[in-house]
């Protein structure tokens, strides 16, 4: 596994957050889950989240919250999980994790709107610890990011989303947003379709390993800055587009593009694979899949159409800020 750190961090940035521990991280993601769920319910104006608390036999559990058939959001999930267990052979062989036991805690968000002119969004922020047989931490890292998957391209929406993410990272170093934006473009790509991105990207980072306790606190603050900006990055776009008139042609294209979303999640997504390989809760893991989807043989949008305009930026990543 490759190790990253916040090279180029601005030393004048002051940390105003608690120390990074399993308890402080768990507390943060539960608070953020509450905050985001409230904001999403307010934007929908009709539907509310249904909560499902679950336990995992091997250790830990989670809190799954889902909205279905809302006025704005056709399906949305805002889930937390706090899980732990023994490192098994599948993890060693396929995930390249070595150690005796592990702890993982994260918040995952996937929101699928009803209106094809409103983009789907995904975000995840996580913390992982690895232990030896004596229970001593041998490795730990944070990861996360957020990415936008529109069905019709509005460049001002793409710029707003990316600018908000960039602004959140800016106090920690000028080099971070460009680096993590490129990683997002590379990661959220269907390589089996000629590196076609599932959307217009965002930021993605993983294996941010603290060098010491002070660095751990900086990483915690960095992670919080990214989580805290999510509502401002996404919901203004929803508010701007949710009342746009649409028809069955637009819905048809939305479901075609949702097919690409499904392909990525089931074939490439490391979070999905980790959950399934560690005997995670299937319903919570596959919550990310959209409610309706199409797979049509060799479907191609008309050249020069609004649908083709979206496809072209998925094939050729853009610089939005």
Single out the residue of 20, 24, 8 nearest to residue 218, CA to CA. Answer: 20
Tokens of 207: 């294996």
Beta carbons within 8 Å of 179's beta carbon, 6+ residues apart: none
288 closest CA partner among 66, 33, 56, 31: 66
What is the C-alpha to C-alpha distance for residues 101 and 125, in angstroms, rounded to an integer? Answer: 21
Decide: residue 191, CB within 10 A, 0-12 exposed, 13-18 middle, 19+ buried. Answer: exposed
Angle at CA of residue 19, ends 17 and 21, nearest 5°: 130
Residue 77 parent element (H or E)? strand 73-86
**Rg, the chain, Cα only:** 19
How far apart CA 264 and CA 192 sit, in angstroms, is 9
Q: Considering the candidates 16, 17, 35, 122, report the single residue annotated as catalytic.
A: 122
Instruction: Classify residue 302 by its DSSP letter.
Output: P
For residue 241, what are the contacts with CB-CB under 8 A and spacing of at least 6? 115, 117, 118, 119, 154, 157
Which secondary structure element, helix H or strand E, spans residue 203, and what is its range?
A: strand 201-208
- Is 122 annotated in the active site? yes
- What is residue 196's DSSP assignment? E
* Partners of 102 in the β-ladder: 85, 130
How far is residue 177 from each of residues 64, 115, 212, measured CA to CA in Å?
30, 30, 23
Active site members: 122
């Amino acid at each position: 596994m490759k190790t990253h750190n916040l090279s180029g961090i601005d030393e004048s940035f002051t940390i105003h957050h608690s120390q990074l521990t399993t308890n402080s991280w768990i507390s943060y993601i539960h608070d953020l889950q509450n905050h985001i769920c409230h904001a999403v319910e307010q934007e929908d104006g009709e539907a509310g989240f249904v909560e499902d608390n679950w336990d995992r036999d091997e250790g830990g559990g989670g809190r799954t919250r889902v909205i279905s058939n809302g006025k704005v959001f056709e399906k949305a999930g805002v889930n937390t999980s706090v899980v732990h267990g023994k490192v098994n052979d599948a993890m060693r062989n396929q995930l390249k994790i070595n150690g005796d036991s592990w702890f993982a805690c994260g918040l995952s968000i996937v929101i699928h709107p009803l209106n094809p002119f409103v983009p789907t969004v995904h975000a995840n922020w996580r913390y992982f610890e690895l232990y030896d047989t004596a229970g001593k931490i041998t490795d730990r890292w944070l990861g996360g990011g957020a990415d936008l998957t529109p069905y019709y391209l509005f460049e001002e929406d793409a710029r707003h989303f990316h600018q908000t993410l960039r602004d959140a990272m800016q106090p920690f170093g000028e080099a971070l947003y460009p680096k993590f934006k490129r990683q997002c473009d590379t990661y959220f790509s269907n390589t089996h379709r000629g590196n076609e991105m599932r959307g217009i990207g965002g930021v993605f980072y993983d294996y941010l390993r603290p060098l010491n306790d002070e660095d751990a606190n900086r990483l915690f603050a960095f992670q919080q800055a990214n989580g805290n900006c999510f509502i401002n990055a996404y919901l203004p776009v929803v508010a701007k587009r949710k009342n746009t008139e649409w028809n069955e042609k637009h819905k048809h294209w939305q479901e075609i593009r949702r097919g690409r979303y499904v392909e990525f999640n089931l074939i490439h997504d490391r979070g999905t694979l980790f959950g399934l390989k560690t005997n995670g809760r299937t319903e919570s893991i596959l919550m990310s899949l959209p409610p309706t989807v199409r797979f049509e043989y060799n479907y191609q949008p008309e050249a020069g159409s609004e649908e083709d305009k979206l496809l072209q930026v998925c094939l050729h990543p853009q610089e939005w800020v």
